[in-house]
Amino acid sequence: MKLLSQGWRCSSRLFSRHQSLEGAICNAVCNTTGRSFVIPRGVAFCGTRLGARGHRDVSFSVNPFFGFPIFRLAREVSNLVSPSLRATRLVGFSTWLEALSSEDSEMAPDVSTAPEGNERERMPSDAQSESSRGFQIVVAATQKMGIGKQGQLPWKLPTDMKFFKTVTSSTSASSKKNAVIMGRVTWESIPEKFRPLPGRLNVILTRSGIKSTPEGVVVSESLEAAMALLESPPYSSEVETVFVIGGGQVYKEALASPLCKVIHLTEVETDVDCDTYMPAVDSDIFRIWAASIPVMENGLRFSFVTYVRSENGTKSSVDAAVSVLPKSVLEAHDEYHYLRLIDDIIKTGAVKGDRTGTGTISKFGCQMRFNLRKSFPLLTTKRVFWRGVVEELLWFINGSTNAKVLHDKGINIWDGNGSREYLDKIGLKEREVGDLGPVYGFQWRHFGAK
């Protein structure tokens, strides 16, 4: 069989069509490497559907937020099977696997295994994925949402142009390409030697037509008509992702459409004179996925901000948007910075013992940078005892050195450091149980005091 998941590739043999996907993965690894493999805890396989041509669609998701077990699963399987398996794309909150049999006799259609009702609706068959194709917006705008001046970009930002090309050109499947939808004025504003934009299907929106229609260009009357065209053969199987790239009226229509899943906004902070504008991003519909550190170029300060659709705050709408993000944007999420750092520490950190007997793996000189203007990252790979975090923070701010204050509230973080046994062990026999001395909060409270 083949295990496919937007970047995952593995070839092995499925022993039985009734076999669970968990078993299929474990057997594939064992059959390829001769080594046993156990699915990491926290990975739950949510459902399967065995249909025509032996397609089996399977979803698995994880708790908590951002699925560190998925990261482990991809890394561990990749390490065991490599180079026959490449885990290069991790799809946010939920990942879809499709198992395709190499032998039709082993994977004959079995309708009895198909889920019914709402569960069937959640499984993304080929027909469903095509009919629900959405699009992404790519735009650079000032803080007042100015996007153009006399039909041209009012700035020259090579880094932004590189970002635009990377996002709109990158595909997970080498056999596919992306489509860029633009209005006629935007099309004509592109220098003739650069159009059509190479490596992408150029879709021009116009009711009056264009002077010529070179190869790689199609014309449509409206955004709705263009999306319908891209959902029909041959484009339905040739085009991977659709991007809307201007101008102002097209952006306005695109932002109002429920098919808009992602917005890649280059925020130009410097005030620039514009005569063309677009509507602001609606924070009730879109949430920030990633925001880069601002950079300066040609006297302009700007940053890259990506929004994903989150209608009514539902997880399903976020999942749908995240699953189509380009890899470079997907991994720009703050959580990935943290996961990459943890992975680097595990692989290259210095191992040392400590007083607890557990030991530490450490690495100095590491750095993470975040754009706090847009959001505040909560970096964690496990469930957080949030009340404990808040109570300890208030305890620190108060400058308290008494662990009993926290203990009486059910917060036992500092109990070990204030126990009679530990105080005696480090030679502080005169201290009462719970007396921690000048710990963090005390130091903060009295910093610089004489």
Read out DSSP for 192-247?
Answer: GGG-SPTTEEEEEE-SS--S---TTEEEESSHHHHHHHHTSTTHHHHEEEEEE---
pLDDT recorded at residue 314: 59
pLDDT recorded at residue 7: 35
CA 403 to chain centroid: 40
List, in order of start, the domains of the chain with CATH numbers. Answer: 2-127 (no CATH), 132-332 (3.40.430.10), 385-445 (no CATH)
pLDDT recorded at residue 429: 94
pLDDT recorded at residue 383: 73
Asked whether the predicted pLDDT for residue 104 surpasses 50, the reply is no
Answer whether 277's CB lies under 8 Å from 147's CB.
yes
pLDDT recorded at residue 392: 94
**Per-residue pLDDT reduced to its tens digit, 115-132:** 333 333 333 334 333 446
Look at 31 and 150; give whichever has higher pLDDT.
Answer: 150
CA 237 to chain centroid: 24
Q: Report the run of H or E that residue 345 belongs to, with start and end.
A: helix 334-348
**Per-residue pLDDT reduced to its tens digit, 129-146:** 344 689 999 999 999 999
Peptide bond into 247 cis (omega under 30): yes
Pairwise CA distance, residues 437 & 329, whole Å: 46
Pairwise CA distance, residues 353 & 148, whole Å: 60
Asked whether the predicted pLDDT for residue 257 surpasses 80, the reply is yes
Q: What does the CA dihedral 348, 371, 305, 292 come to, rounded to 10 degrees?
A: -40
CA distances for 44 relative to 21, 92, 379, angstroms: 11, 15, 22
Asked whether the predicted pLDDT for residue 18 surpasses 60, the reply is no
Give one DSSP letter per residue of 52-80, joined into a string: GGGEEEEEEEESSTT-HHHHHHHHHHHHH
pTM: 0.59
Tokens of 109: 């259609």
Percent pLDDT > 70 in the chain is 68
CA 22 to chain centroid: 24
Q: What's the whole-number average pLDDT of the chain?
A: 76
pLDDT recorded at residue 109: 33
Residue 41 DSSP SS3: coil
CA distances for 434 relative to 396, 397, 399, 410, 411, angstroms: 15, 18, 14, 14, 13
Q: Give the mean pLDDT of 36-54.
A: 44
**Reported confidence tier of residue 305, pLDDT bands at 50, 70, 90:** very high
CA atoms within 13 A on the CB side of 77: 26
Look at 68 and 98; give whichever has higher pLDDT.
Answer: 68
Tally DSSP H helices, then E strands, for the chain: 16, 17
Among the ranges given (105-119, 185-199, 332-346, 379-393), the one the predictor scored with the smallest mean pLDDT: 105-119
Pairwise CA distance, residues 263 & 253, whole Å: 13
Task: Compute the radius of gyration of the chain from its Cα atoms.
Answer: 27
- 383 burial (CB, 10 Å; 0-12 / 13-18 / 19+) is exposed
What's the CA angle centered on 60, arms 78 and 39, to 5 degrees? 45
Pairwise CA distance, residues 100 & 13, whole Å: 10
pLDDT recorded at residue 315: 59
CA distances for 97 relative to 24, 49, 61, 121, 272, angstroms: 12, 11, 11, 16, 46
Residues paired with residue 181 on neighbouring β-strands, in sequence order: 203, 244
Exposure string for 95-119, b = 16+ CB within 10 A, e = fewer: bbbbbebeeeeebeeeeeebeeeee
CA distances for 60 relative to 29, 112, 252, angstroms: 18, 21, 36
Q: What is the chain's length?
A: 450
Q: Give the mean pLDDT of 226-254.
A: 95
Asked whether the predicted pLDDT for residue 268 surpasses 60, the reply is yes
**Reported confidence tier of residue 230, pLDDT bands at 50, 70, 90:** very high
